[in-house]
Amino acid sequence: MVKTGNISSETHFNNSFPEHCTEHMDGQIPIENAEFDWNKSTQAKLLSSFFYGYICTQIIGGWLSDTYGGRRVFGIALIISGICSLMTPVCARTSVYAVFVVRVILGLSSGVVLPSGNSIIGRWAPLFEKSKLTSFACLGVAFGIVISFITSGYLCKHGFDNGWGSIFYLTGGFTVFWAIAWFLIVHDTPDKNQWISKEELNYIKSNVQFDTSKRTAVVPWCRIATNPAFLAILVAHFLCKLGFLGSGVFLIGTGFTSCEDREIAVVLLSLAFLFAGFHNAGCLVNNIDIGQKYAGTLFGLTNTLATVPGMVAPIVTSILTPNDTAEEWRNMFYVCAGVCLLGIVVFGCLASGEVQEWAKDETEINIEKPKYIDKNENTKF
């Protein structure tokens, strides 16, 4: 979409380090089919505008899903997201401010997707299948990113509407189409699914630790905020975009690769994010473990805080790597590994896999009034 400006190795790179890579081209690098003269500052604002909306709807999205049902929240959010993608090429050719607005709306709608999905899993996942279902759902996110990146490069060169426009039209169109299928197939709880067998329904209901047919708008906010098990998830989710021990080790190793070992660096980074998958099966599922009834709300709370590092990380990276030297990036990887280590300590000390008291259904105790006989009147009361 954007025309490339001057790229100078003297401007961006410090050659005082012998291990530094200097194989960079100077001058103008034109991009075929590019239409816009947006500078780096404008591009950064457009990219970050998504997160301005994304961080605002996590908690409300989780609460709405737990209270009224995740099916509608999830489906409506997808339709809005699809429409925003379809409108992006038109907005881009109209005004940069229009792109900013549409990306904020895209962030607002996308912010409710993960909490609402977590809420649905919380009402469908039997006791010993929560990790499998959550991990399988998270796999879809990674798979979608891989497919999008692969196809986007091809569409930029061979797609319609000047190449890049076709990316937004196709992804937006598929999203809307898939959202329609979502409404036709998905149900909030097992009780409402007309295709489920009686045996499966009984199995799920007997292995879910609360009555999925009942909903409440009352959330024990104070008890959640002061609960050690929840705080462990909150800290772990905040500190680990990156996963835990395995990610930290491979990130440090990446910092010691040289220019001639580019392939090794890619492998180490890939392994670092491979270990991040354990994070999905552990920390993220733990929301459902401790409070299955409020799974959407809990995920909204933790993911709101977890969005902050995603917004701050580029700023911190630019501060720590002003010259893009190998030593500076090595220090950056040390910071990432230290964050992972802190997440291990906090989560390991405070985490719990048991349902907390505030997440259990309240049981009504009926005290039957005792009967006695009046000796004088011979009457039972």
* pLDDT computed for residue 112 by the predictor: 94
Which amino acid, residue 81?
A: S
Mean pLDDT score across all residues of the chain = 80
pLDDT at 42: 85
Question: How many Å apart are CA 80 and CA 376, to the nearest integer?
Answer: 76
Cα gap 160→168, rounded to integer Å: 11
Identity of the highest mean pLDDT range in 95-104, 213-222, 256-265: 95-104
Domains, the chain, ranges and CATH?
A: 30-208 (1.20.1250.20), 220-357 (no CATH)
CA 243 → CA 17, 233, 289, 376, distances in Å? 31, 13, 19, 77
191 pLDDT exceeds 70? yes
pLDDT recorded at residue 9: 40
Residues 6+ positions from 148 with CB-CB distance below 8 Å: 171
Q: Which is nearest to 361 in space by CA: 292, 274, 282, 261?
A: 292
| pLDDT at 4 > cutoff 70 | no
pLDDT score, position 193: 86
pLDDT above 90 for 306: no
pLDDT at residue 41 in the model: 78
Please give the share of the chain, as a percent, with pLDDT higher than 70.
83
DSSP secondary structure letter of residue 20:
-
- Mean pLDDT lowest among 67-81, 190-204, 222-236, 251-265: 251-265
Q: Helix or strand or coil: residue 271?
A: helix
pLDDT single digits (tens) 85-110: 999 999 999 999 999 999 999 999 99
Residue 130 confidence (pLDDT): 84
123-146 pLDDT tens trace:
898 888 888 888 888 888 878 888
| pLDDT over 70 (residue 335) | yes
Look at residue 75 in the predicted model and tell me its pLDDT. Answer: 95
Per-residue confidence band for 25, with pLDDT thresholds at 50, 70 and 90: very low
Taking residues 294-311, what's their average pLDDT?
Answer: 86
Task: Pick 289 or 168 by higher pLDDT.
Answer: 168
Average pLDDT over residues 258-275: 77
pLDDT at residue 362 greater than cutoff 90: no
Please tell me the least confidently modeled range out of 147-151, 252-256, 339-343, 372-376.
372-376
**Positive or negative, the Cα torsion across 212, 214, 217, 221?**
negative
